Structure 1
Amino acid sequence: MKIVFVSLDTLRADRLGCYGYALPTSPHLDQIAEEGVLFEQAFAADIPTEVAHTGIFTGKVGLRTGVVSHGSPLSQLPKHVEWLPEILRKAGFVTGAVDNLYQLKEWFARGYRYYINSVGRERWIDGRTVNDLAIPWIREHKDEDFFLFLHYWDCHTPYLPPLDYVRSFYDEHKNPYDSTNQSMKRAYNHPAYPFFKHHHYSLLGEVADATYVNALYDAEVRYLDDRLRELDECLREQGVYDDTLLILFGDHGESLTEHDIYWDHCGLYDSTVHVPMILRWPNRIPPRRRVSGLVQQVDLMPTVLEALCLNPPRHLDGKSLWPAIDGLCEQTHARIYLSECAWQASRGVRTSDYKFIQTIDSGPFVRPPCELYDLRSDPNETNNLVDLLPEKVLAMAQLLNDWVTHTLDGREDPMNDVLRRQGLPFRRRIEQILCQVGLTWNDWLKDPSKRRFDELYEMHVPSGVGT
C-alpha cells in the first residue's frame, strides 16, 4: 500500500470548482474529488502553517500539544508526543517527505527515512521543484509500502505564477498598474504594510488594482492544479494508482481582502479556516462521495491509522473519518474549536449554524473583543450579532471556555505564556522592521501610511538589503 499525503498550503476551499467556484482554477482537483470523497465542511482548528501541520501529524489540537503559535521560539513539541510518520515507519512503511517545514521546527523531520528539504535560495517554492524531487522518489520506491508527504506552497504569497496562467483570470486589456484605480489604498496603508512591502508588494511592483492580486492567487491555484495532474500521471505510469491512498488537504486558507486582511492567513473567519479535504483510494472509497458535516484536520491521523488497522495513540482530538466516508454518519464533530496566535491572538468555536470569536490581542488589526455570526444567513461573516443575541453569545462563550479548561486540565495556557513572555510573533517582526526606519509601534499605528514608510525606508535601509 502507498499513502501520498499532500499539503496544499494556503489553499482556501471556496476557490476550487469542486467547492463551487465558477472560474477554472482546479480541473484536475475536481476530477480527483469525483473519484473519491470530498469533505464539504473541513476546518483548520489551529492556524497558520506551523501549528496546523503539528496538529495534522499528531492528531491533537494545539491547546493539547502546547504548540499554539506560529513563529514563536517558545514553541516546543515534546519527544514523547507520537508523530504520524514515526508510527508508520515503525509499522514497516518507507517514509519520505518533500518539504521544508524543518526550517521552522526540528520536529517536522521526525520519523522520515528520507527527508528531502525543498528549501531553495528564494523564500517561495515552486510546485515543479516539489515534483522534480518527488516523482523520482516514487519511481524508486514503487515496489515498497510507503508514506510520502508532499508540501506545495504555490498558493502562498508572493503570488508569482507564470504569466500564461494569469490570462484566464484577469482581463488582458486592463492595466493593473493604472494609478487611477484606488482599490489597493486600504491594503497599502494597513498597519501590516511594512512586513508585506518586502515579502509581497515589492515583488509585484506598484499594483493599483486589488482584483489583479486576487487573479494572481487564482492563477497560482491553477498552476498548482497542473502540478497535481503531473503527480497523478506518475502514479498511473508507475502502476500504483489503484494501491494509493491519496490525501489532499489545505493547512489553512487565505483572506483576499475580506475582514481588512490583505492576502494573508490570519483571522478565524471561514476564508482562512475552511479548507479543502479530499481523499481517494480506488476500490475502497466510493466515487463522488460528499460529506456535508463538520470535520477537522486532526481527523486525518486516526483515519490513516484505521486504514492500516493500527491502534491510534491515546487522547487524540481527531476522530476517524471512515464512518463518514462509508455513509454511517455525516460529521465527526458537533463543533470545531479554533485558535490562532501569530498576527493576532484569538479563539473561537464554530457549529454548523454559528461562529463565535473571542479576541485576546488584535495585533495590527481592529477587532471587537467578541464576534458572533449566523452562518446560515451571513456566510461571509459580515454582520456581528453580539449586541443582538446576548444569550447566544453567553452560550457560545461558555462552550469555548469549558473546552479550554477541560483540554488544559490544569496546565498553563500556552497562548497566555506566549503573549506574556514574547508577545505576538508577527507584531515583533513588524516592530523590528519599524526599528530599521526609526519608528516605534505606537507611532506607526497613528499614521500607517505607505508613502511615509517608503520614504523612511529609502532613507534608512541600504539599497538591496531586505527586511
Structure 2
Amino acid sequence: MKTIMISLDSLRAKRLGCYGYSKPTSPYMDHIASEGVLFENAFASDIPTEAAHTSIFTGKVGLRTGIVSHGSQLNNLSKSTAWLPTMLRQAGFTTGAVDNLYQLKEWFARGFRYYINSVGNKRWIDGETINELTKPWLREHKDEDFFLFLHYWDPHTPYLPPKKYVADFYDLNKDPYDKQNNSMKPAYNHLAYPFFKHHHFDLLGPVTDAEYINALYDAEVRYLDDKLKELDNYLEELGIKEDTLLIIFGDHGESLTEHDIYWDHCGLYDTTVQVPLIMRWPNQLPSGKRVQGIVQQVDLMPTIFEAINKRDEANIQPLSLPEDIDGKSLWPSIFGEEEGTQSTIYLSECAWQAARGVRTERYKFIRTRDSGPFTRPPRELYDLYTDPEETVNLAHSQRQIAKQLEHELDTWIERILQGKEDPMERQITQDGLPFRRRIENILSNVGLTWEEWLENHSSERLEKLLNKN
C-alpha cells in the first residue's frame, strides 16, 4: 500500500472550482475530486502552519498537545507524543517527506526514513522545486509500501506565479500600479504593514489595485494545479497510481482582504479555517462522492490507520490508535454511515492574534483573548445560514446563543486541560504574540516602539524612516 499526503499551504477551499469558485483555478484538482471523495466542510482545528501540521500528525488538537501558536520559542512537542510518520515507519512503511517544516521545529522530521528538506536559496519554494525533489524518490521506492508527505507552498505569500498564469485572472490592459486607484490603502496603513512590506509587498512593487493581488493568488493556485497534474501523471507513468491513497488538503485557508486581513491566514473565520480535503484511492473509495458533514484535519490519522488495517499487507503490522486522540475515521462518512465526524468543532489560533471559537453547522462563536494588530470585539457570533460571510456580529442581539456556545467552549477547555496550564495563556503572558514580536523586531531597526507605531502607523511614515536609516 502506498499513501501520499499532500499539504497545500494557504489554499482556501472556496477558491477551487470543485468548491464552487467560478474562475479556472483548479481544473486538475477538480478532476481528482471527480475520481474520489471531496469533503465540503473540512476544518483546521488549529492555525496557522505549525499548529495545524502538529495536529494533523498527532490526530490531536493543539490544546491537548500544547502546540497552539506558530513560531514561538516556547513550543515543544514531547518525544513521547505519538506521531503519524513514526508509527507508520514502525509498522513497516518506508517513510519520506519533501518538506521544510524542520526549519521551523525539529519534530516535523520525526519518523521519516528519508527527509528531503526543500529549502533552497530562494525566499520561497515553488511547486517545480517540490516535484523535482519528489520524482526521484518515487522512482526509487515505487515498489515498496510507503508513506510520503509533500508540502507545497503555493499559494502562500509572496504571490509570485509565472507571468503566463496571470492573464486568466486579471485584465492585462489595466495598470495595477495606477496611482488613481486607492484600494490598497487599507493594507498599506494596517498595523501589520511592516511585516508584509518585507515579506510580500516589496517583491510586488508599489501595487495600488487590491484586485491585482487577489488575481495573483488565483494565478498561484492555477500554477499549483498544473504541478499536481504533473505529479499525478508521474504516478501513472510509474504504474502506481491505482495502488496509491492520495490525500490532498490545505493546512489553512487565506483571507483576501476580508475582516481587515490582507492576504494572510489569521482569524477564525471560514476564509481561513475551512480547508479543502480530497481523497482518491482507485477501487477502494467511491468516485465523485461529496461528504457534506463537518470533519477536521485531526481525522486524517485515524482514517489512514483504518485504510491500512483494511488491507492484508504481508509486510505491514496492524496499527492501533493512540490514547486521547481527537480525530475520528472518515470511512463511515465516506460510505454514508455518518454525515461527518463532528457536529461541533473547536477552533484556535495564537500568532497574529489569540482567539478560540466554536463552530456548528449553523453558528460560529469566537472569543478573542488578544487582538494583536487588529480591532476585534471580545466576542463574536455569526449565523452562518443567513450570513455565511460572517459580517454581522450577533453576540449582543443573540445573547443566549452566544452564552450557550461560550459555555460549551469553556467546558471543552476544562475537559481537555484537567487543571493543567492553558498553553495559550502561557504564550501570551510569557512571550507575547509571536507575530507581534516579529513586527516589533522590524520596528526596532528604525527606532520605533510598538506603542509609537500604534499612535501613528502609516506606510508613508515607515518608508521615510527606512530611507533615513
The interval holding the TM-score normalised by the smaller chain is over 0.9
Mapped to 2, the partners of 1:19 and 1:335 lie a distance apart of: 22
Q: Which runs of 4+ in 1 moved over 4 A?
A: none
Counting aligned pairs with the same residue, the percent is 67
Mapped to 2, the partners of 1:178 and 1:401 lie a distance apart of: 50
- Partner of 2:120: helix, strand, or coil? coil
1:50-69 equivalences under 5 Å are: 50-69=50-69
- Measure how far apart 1:123 and its partner are: 2.5
1:131-150 equivalences under 5 Å are: 131-150=131-150
Mapped to 2, the partners of 1:410 and 1:306 lie a distance apart of: 33
- Measure how far apart 1:326 and its partner are: 1.0
Q: Does 1:346 align with 2:355?
A: yes
Mapped to 2, the partners of 1:74 and 1:11 lie a distance apart of: 27
Q: For the aligned residues, what is the CA RMSD? A: 0.5
Report Cα offsets for 1:83-107 as digits up to 9, x if no partner.
0000110111000000000000000
Mapped to 1, the partners of 2:122 and 2:414 lie a distance apart of: 42
Mapped to 2, the partners of 1:168 and 1:93 lie a distance apart of: 42
Q: Does 1:37 align with 2:46?
A: no
Which residue is 2:411 aligned to?
A: 402
TM-score, normalising length: structure 2: 0.98
Q: Does 1:78 align with 2:78?
A: yes
- Measure how far apart 1:330 and its partner are: 1.0
Mapped to 2, the partners of 1:10 and 1:232 lie a distance apart of: 21
Mapped to 1, the partners of 2:114 and 2:350 lie a distance apart of: 31
Which residue is 2:457 aligned to?
A: 448
Opposite residue 198 of structure 2, the aligned amino acid is: H
- Partner of 1:39: helix, strand, or coil? strand
Opposite residue 218 of structure 2, the aligned amino acid is: D
Which residue is 1:19 aligned to?
A: 19
- Partner of 1:140: helix, strand, or coil? helix
Structure 2 unmatched runs, 5+: 310-318
TM-score, normalising length: structure 1: 0.98
Moved more, 118-127 or 288-297: 118-127
Opposite residue 120 of structure 2, the aligned amino acid is: G
Which residue is 1:429 aligned to?
A: 438
Which residue is 2:275 aligned to?
A: 275
- Measure how far apart 1:136 and its partner are: 1.1
Matched pairs, number? 460
Which residue is 1:465 aligned to?
A: none
Opposite residue 128 of structure 2, the aligned amino acid is: R
1:35-434 equivalences under 5 Å are: 35-309=35-309, 310-434=319-443
- Partner of 2:216: helix, strand, or coil? helix
Mapped to 1, the partners of 2:123 and 2:359 lie a distance apart of: 33
- Measure how far apart 1:122 and its partner are: 2.2
Which residue is 2:313 aligned to?
A: none
Mapped to 1, the partners of 2:154 and 2:121 lie a distance apart of: 16
Mapped to 2, the partners of 1:317 and 1:458 lie a distance apart of: 51
Mapped to 1, the partners of 2:18 and 2:320 lie a distance apart of: 33
Mapped to 2, the partners of 1:396 and 1:99 lie a distance apart of: 38
Opposite residue 260 of structure 1, the aligned amino acid is: D
Opposite residue 184 of structure 1, the aligned amino acid is: M
Mapped to 2, the partners of 1:61 and 1:387 lie a distance apart of: 29
Opposite residue 331 of structure 1, the aligned amino acid is: G
Report Cα offsets for 1:386-405 as digits up to 9, x if no partner.
11100011001001010011
Report Cα offsets for 1:173-198 as digits up to 9, x if no partner.
10000010000000000000001110
Mapped to 2, the partners of 1:406 and 1:171 lie a distance apart of: 53
Mapped to 1, the partners of 2:113 and 2:396 lie a distance apart of: 55
Opposite residue 194 of structure 2, the aligned amino acid is: P
Opposite residue 136 of structure 2, the aligned amino acid is: P
Report Cα offsets for 1:119-178 as digits up to 9, x if no partner.
012231011000000011111111000000000001000000000000000001100000
- Partner of 2:400: helix, strand, or coil? helix
Moved more, 342-351 or 434-443: 434-443
Opposite residue 298 of structure 1, the aligned amino acid is: V
Mapped to 1, the partners of 2:435 and 2:155 lie a distance apart of: 20
Report Cα offsets for 1:326-382 as digits up to 9, x if no partner.
111111001110000000000000000000000000000000000000000000000
Opposite residue 344 of structure 1, the aligned amino acid is: Q
Mapped to 1, the partners of 2:466 and 2:325 lie a distance apart of: 48
- Partner of 1:158: helix, strand, or coil? coil
Mapped to 2, the partners of 1:380 and 1:445 lie a distance apart of: 28
Structure 1 unmatched runs, 5+: 461-467
Opposite residue 371 of structure 1, the aligned amino acid is: E
Mapped to 2, the partners of 1:458 and 1:84 lie a distance apart of: 49
Mapped to 2, the partners of 1:455 and 1:4 lie a distance apart of: 49
